Structure 1
Amino acid sequence: MTAPGIHPSASVDPSARIGASVSIGAFSLIGAGVEIGEGTSIGPHCSVLGPTRIGRDNRIVGHAAIGGEPQDKKFAGEDSRLEIGDRNVIREFVTINRGTGGGGGVTRIGSDNWILAYAHVAHDCIVGNHCVFSNNATLAGHVSVDDHVILSGFAGVHQFCRIGAHAFVGMGAFVNGDVPPFVMVAQEGYGRPRGINSEGLRRRGFDAARVAAIKRAYRALYMSGAKLDEAKTQLAEIAGDSDDVRAMLAFIEAGERPLLR
């Protein structure tokens, strides 16, 4: 007998753990090692493969492919997993892959994100909370995206890059270096910084003083003509009065890839 909320044509592995009030649409496949939290809805023609844990109250729309094997030639079937938080919206034809043994073994998506049609999150990516990935936005492997980041349509991020909190990547921009927090990137071959994400910060309640400090930091980093070490010295001076600039400086200091400049 099919459980309430699960379409009779859906295929659910007996080992899958399905929470209360979960709905699963027609012809969807839920594999072994999958856990789906209460109130989550899975649309028609989706595949959710394990090991994957999906939290509460997520909405996964039709034809999404969640928890598939990583697209990495080095992957040899080792244990890896996908973890998705709560209240995410994952739209049509989105693909999110599990991690790899060499990359930490886990791909992780936080909570309250909107991941729109045809977006792709590759193996070993770590995505924070309250992000928006517009249609066809793509993360290569091992990318880290902090909270409140917006990737516009057809944006692409190179493997191992980091995107700092509150950054905005414009339509069609290709990112091949780390993007500091608050920075806005526009298309020009590879994406190039084009100011700070002022509108996004205003909408999130940043007051004028906070935004002004971030603008001073941006000018020091991108408009002063200073070399990176010199710019970091200027940021350290500004950071004395700004937690946000301290966060920018900490982000830059922690980077392994070149900073997008």
Structure 2
Amino acid sequence: MSRIHSTALVDPAAQLDASVTVGPYAVVGPHVRIGAGTSVGAHCVIEGHTTIGADNKIFQFASLGAQPQDKKYADEPTRLVIGDRNTIREFCTFNTGTVQDEGLTQVGNDNWIMAYVHIAHDCVVGNHTVLANNATLAGHVKVGDHAILGGLTGVHQFTQIGAHVMAGFASHISQDVPPFMLVDGNPLSVRGFNLEGLRRRGFAPERLAAVKQMHRLLYRQGLTLEAARQAIDALAAQYPEAAADIQALSQFIAGSKRGIAR
């Protein structure tokens, strides 16, 4: 039995693995490639220069690969690339990139993306993230691995969200959020660090202690940002097991262009 429903419209030029399933009334454009084991739900539209990896589950009514919502867009062949084993729920909208950036919107692997999530042009979403219902990423946003965005959270364009961040329900994120932090609100406030999330991911006690100290230096000691960064760098000697975590946070602060949430 064919894995493509008789009512689906799949362009002959599209490249679909033989194991891909396509539901009723779905539309798949000519520049689309879909990997093994991926399922496309009813009424989905997948268009543009879109590449989707293996074992993704795309629920009904999703729109993937449509043109970016950017007035400067002039029909350039920009791309959307989605990795493997992602769950993409109903009514999600992921757009392709723009030539003002890298021309690429990218979603990694093993992400849990709930209904009505919007991922705008030139966004980069890492691996193992959770984007709850109606989370919205404006253009050029970057989301690190294992980040969690609560429902109805909005992220301003060009903002970066570090790895292991947790943002609560309806957060308004307009500045960069450093790795490991726990934030919520409008205006946004840093409430602590994501202790429970880090425990669940197997962080050893020394790594947890280092993250606690980094949070204290950055948010509880009244230090300037540069003084806090220098003090964080010095923690590597005290917590050698957490050297990579310390470096990640320090480099995030140094590379922030919008300023960090503080």
Task: Return the TM-score normalized by structure 2.
Answer: 0.97
Kindly indicate whether residue 157 of structure 2 is the aligned counterpart of residue 159 of structure 1. Answer: yes
Q: Which residue of 1 aligns with 2:10?
A: 12
List per-residue Cα deviations over 1:83-107 (Å, max 9, x = no partner): 0000000000000000001111000
Kindly indicate whether residue 219 of structure 2 is the aligned counterpart of residue 218 of structure 1. Answer: no
Provide the rounded CA distance (Å) in 2 between the counterparts of 1:120 and 1:208.
36
Q: Which residue of 1 aligns with 2:253?
A: 252
State the percentage of identical aligned residues.
50
Provide the rounded CA distance (Å) in 2 between the counterparts of 1:32 and 1:239.
51
Provide the rounded CA distance (Å) in 1 between the counterparts of 2:90 and 2:207.
38
Match of 2:170 among 169, 172, 175: 172
Letter of the 1:224 partner, please give it. Q
* Unaligned ranges ≥5, structure 1: none
Shift of 1:216: 0.4
Q: Which residue of 2 aligns with 1:116?
A: 114
Matched residues, number? 258
Kindly indicate whether residue 91 of structure 2 is the aligned counterpart of residue 93 of structure 1. Answer: yes
Match of 2:47 among 38, 46, 49: 49
Letter of the 1:260 partner, please give it. A
Match of 2:230 among 206, 229, 233: 233
Shift of 1:178: 0.7
Letter of the 1:248 partner, please give it. L
Q: Which residue of 2 aligns with 1:146?
A: 144
Provide the rounded CA distance (Å) in 2 between the counterparts of 1:122 and 1:259.
22
Shift of 1:229: 1.3
* Unaligned ranges ≥5, structure 2: none
Shift of 1:191: 1.6
Provide the rounded CA distance (Å) in 1 between the counterparts of 2:187 and 2:66.
29
Match of 2:34 among 17, 21, 36: 36
Provide the rounded CA distance (Å) in 1 between the counterparts of 2:210 and 2:156.
29
In the alignment, is the contact (CA less than 8 A) between 2:48 and 2:67 conserved in 1? no
